[in-house]
Amino acid sequence: MADLFKILLSAIAAPILLVVAFVVMRYTFAIIGVDFGLIISITIALTPIWLPFVLFFLLFERWMDFVHLKFSLDNGRTTLRIKLPQEVLKSPEAMESVFALIHNPNNSDNLWQTYIDGRLPLIFSFELVSIGGDVRFYINIPTKKTKNLIEAQLYAQFPGIEVTEEMVDYSSEVVWNPKKWEMMVFHIGKKEDQVFPVKTYIDFGLDKQPKEELKFEPMAAMLEQLSTAKPHERFWIQILCKPHVKRNFKSGFLKSKASWEGDVFAKISEMLGRDPKKKTGPVEFEEQPRLTAGERDTVAAMERNAGKYAYETAIRYVYITPLGKFDGNALLLLKTFSQYDIIKRNGLGVRWRTDFDYNWFSDWSGRKKMELKKKELEDYKKRVYTVREPISRVDELKIFTAEELATIYHIPGSSVITPGLSRIPSARREAPANLPVELPQ
């Protein structure tokens, strides 16, 4: 209700500003001696022409925010906890199929669904959590339609897995109180242009299904670091992803925007020295640039990535500890994201954080930092994301494909043996029907 109230309040702000502007304009015209009554008469006479356009552009975004929020609230949210089986012999490709399956469950089919029902792709949150060294896997999803779908797909891809619905969300255990908790929040994203993919399970060779003892598990370092949390510490990693759709009027945007796939192939053409606008004759030959082995691999990865389902993605890391027990070693977890870096292609890194390098310049009183931490905790619980650098937008959502996401978040193989990562005991099987129950005489 608080979010709805904020949107309604922001919607009436525009008319109030118009009234204030009207008063200021009338006062100004009175000073310079202009006949304000004549101007008002002409303006009123032309109201049927200009007013609809003004109201449309003033209220369009507010209306879309309102119907989108209503649609999201109507769908509800569910937090699922995933308990790992003893044996996982599948590669992250199995998790990629999960990301592919949930990509389009809420896309609108017509303008009514877009502008009245507020139907839009909803956010999925894939979470890695350590509470006192106990490492857990969570997925927070829209309840309607998606819950049963993702449960069925997880059971199908990972036999022996256990998926349970959490009645009380784990994040509700922490209530903002700066006198009780210390907290740092980091926004993590791609360092370079989003058209370049990060290192994926295919680059690790996991698509070739090597023997379990020979597998390189990209999540192993992160899981090991999560298990080092002290009993009073909490490490939360949240991967928010929303299905990427083309920006046009049908999908709820006034301004159309080129698709992400188009940007990828435009970049490939640039790397290959092609000019898509230039038409060459049948006898013309253009000298193509000679690519290095690394550049050829990059182009191949970009082409492969462009054929996968895309998500607008943000990654958040939250470190929470009781006041006075802050441990800088907890920030070593950030280094584990370098597993997905490929030099001269792309990688993951911190794009924003709640704490400032120069408090005396950026936040001398400390109030801004505390307010940001409070808002980030609220955003985490609501599974929403706010860009905190509105000018540079270095922490804006970036495109990650299902292949990239499955590399970062998947059910780790049996080769990962981490103290804090518990697995379900082997299932008990019924005895064979013909098993003898008495010794022969």
Q: What is the pTM of this model?
A: 0.83
**Per-residue confidence (pLDDT) for residue 282, from 0 to 100:** 56
Token pair belonging to 301: 């990865």
Distance, CA of 124 to CA of 130 (rounded, Å): 20
User: Cβ of 280: how many Cβ atoms within 10 Å?
Assistant: 10
User: Cβ of 230: how many Cβ atoms within 10 Å?
Assistant: 13
Among residues 193, 252, 199, the alpha carbon closest in space to that of 398 is found at 193
pLDDT tens, residue order, the chain (441 aa): 555 555 555 556 667 776 776 677 666 767 776 666 776 777 777 777 777 777 777 788 888 888 888 888 888 999 999 999 988 888 899 999 999 998 876 777 788 888 888 888 899 999 999 999 999 999 999 887 788 889 999 999 998 899 999 999 999 999 999 999 999 999 999 999 999 999 999 999 988 877 777 788 899 999 999 999 999 999 999 999 999 988 888 888 878 777 888 899 999 998 888 766 665 555 455 556 678 888 899 999 999 999 999 999 999 999 999 999 999 888 999 999 999 999 989 999 999 999 876 555 566 667 888 999 999 999 999 999 999 988 889 999 999 999 999 999 999 988 888 888 888 886 544 445 554 444 444
Q: Which residue has the tokens 């494909």?
A: 401
User: Cβ of 90: how many Cβ atoms within 10 Å?
Assistant: 17
**Per-residue confidence (pLDDT) for residue 6, from 0 to 100:** 57
Q: Which residue has the tokens 């006479």?
A: 45
Distance, CA of 104 to CA of 245 (rounded, Å): 9
Task: List Cβ<8 Å contacts ≥24 apart for 418-421.
Answer: 418/135, 418/220, 418/223, 418/224, 418/226, 418/227, 419/133, 419/227, 420/130, 420/133, 420/134, 420/135, 420/223, 420/226, 420/227, 420/228, 420/229, 421/84, 421/135, 421/223, 421/227
**Per-residue confidence (pLDDT) for residue 13, from 0 to 100:** 64
- Dihedral angle computed from the Cα positions of residues 140, 145, 148 and 151, in that order, rounded to the nearest 10 degrees: -40
Instruction: Give Cβ neighbours of residue 7 (< 8 Å, ≥ 6 apart).
Output: 62, 65, 66, 69
Among residues 226, 261, 208, the alpha carbon closest in space to that of 92 is found at 208
β-strands 181-190, 77-83 pairing: unpaired
Q: How many residues does the chain have?
A: 441
**Per-residue confidence (pLDDT) for residue 303, from 0 to 100:** 94
- Where exactly are the structural domains of the chain? 4-57, 78-276+294-408
Task: State phi, psi for 400 to the nearest 5 degrees.
Answer: -125, 140
- Dihedral angle computed from the Cα positions of residues 319, 320, 321 and 326, in that order, rounded to the nearest 10 degrees: 40
Distance, CA of 247 to CA of 365 (rounded, Å): 41
**Per-residue confidence (pLDDT) for residue 440, from 0 to 100:** 46
Q: How far apart are the first and last CA of the chain?
A: 77
Distance, CA of 369 to CA of 184 (rounded, Å): 10
Helix locations, 83-228, DSSP H: 93-101, 111-115, 146-157, 220-226
**Per-residue confidence (pLDDT) for residue 425, from 0 to 100:** 80
**Beta bridge partners of residue 339, listed in sequence order:** none
The letter for the amino acid at 81 is: R
Under a CB-based contact definition with an 8 Å cutoff, are residues 325 and 180 in contact? no
